[in-house]
């Protein structure tokens, strides 16, 4: 009995060693594109390709890693769409408390705070979102919106330019840049 137990331990150890050694060299059959690849493709994509790449990035960025946090996020998003800003803010505060590394939670809470007229806290949340994901063109665009609202159009224009450099076909960014172009287009900022 003891000999069988020791033999089993040796077999399990050998199997684990084999699996561990082979893991770094194996590649999943259907590896999803990573964020950097999607962003690089987005920068050079035509308008139609940009739509598909944007959808992939949005899906990637919406994953918190927790079904409970994803539920809070979707409830908050629904509340915000229905104009229930206070309820959305409550959901998002719980979300950011429990998942502080989830950039999209901070972005959505910033949008809720902006809708409530709390521009300073909205900027703080956008800064947190961008610290976690500096390539989130939606967060950069949202920062530009807040800056424009608080009468900082020059800084808003800079934010919009940054968002456009990442996602050249972002319609809202393009519209914002066209609106501010007469004031800042062609000048050194």
Task: Please give the full DSSP string across 164-188, using - where no structure is assigned.
Answer: HHH-TT-HHHHHHHHHHHHHHTTS-
> Would you state the pLDDT for residue 171?
95
**156/168 Cα distance (integer angstroms):** 17
Where exactly are the structural domains of the chain? 35-184
Average pLDDT, the chain: 86
Contact status, residue 132 vs residue 103, Cβ threshold 8 Å: yes
Task: Give me the numbers of helices (H) and strands (E) for the chain, helices first please.
Answer: 10, 0
Give the C-alpha separation, 166 to 64, whole Å.
Answer: 22
Residue 25 has pLDDT above 50, yes or no: no
What residues contact 98, with CB distance under 8 A and at least 6 apart? 66, 68, 69, 72
For the cut 90, the answer to whether the pLDDT of residue 89 exceeds it is: yes
Choose the weakest-confidence range: 12-16, 85-89, 149-153, 160-164: 12-16
pTM over 0.85: no
Range name among 68-72, 80-84, 114-118, 184-188 with the lowest pLDDT average: 184-188
| Count, residues in the chain | 189
The pLDDT of 73-93, averaged and rounded, is 96
35-184 has which CATH code?
1.25.40.10
């Amino acid at each position: 009995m003891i000999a069988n137990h020791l033999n089993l331990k040796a077999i399990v150890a050998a199997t684990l060693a084999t699996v561990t050694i082979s893991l770094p060299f194996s590649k999943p059959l259907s590896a999803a594109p990573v964020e950097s690849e999607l962003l690089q493709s987005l920068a050079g994509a035509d308008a139609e390709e940009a739509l598909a790449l944007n959808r992939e990035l949005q899906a990637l960025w919406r994953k918190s890693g927790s079904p409970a946090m994803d539920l809070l996020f979707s409830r908050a998003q629904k509340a915000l769409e229905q104009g229930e800003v206070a309820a959305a803010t409550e959901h998002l505060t719980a979300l950011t408390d429990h998942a502080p590394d989830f950039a999209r939670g901070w972005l959505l809470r910033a949008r809720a705070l902006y809708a409530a007229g709390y521009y300073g806290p909205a900027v703080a949340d956008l800064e947190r979102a961008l610290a976690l994901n500096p390539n989130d063109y939606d967060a950069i665009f949202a920062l530009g919106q807040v800056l424009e609202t608080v009468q900082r159009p020059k800084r808003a224009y800079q934010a919009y330019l940054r968002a456009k450099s990442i996602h050249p076909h972002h319609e809202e960014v393009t519209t914002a840049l066209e609106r501010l172009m007469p004031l800042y287009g062609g000048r050194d900022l």
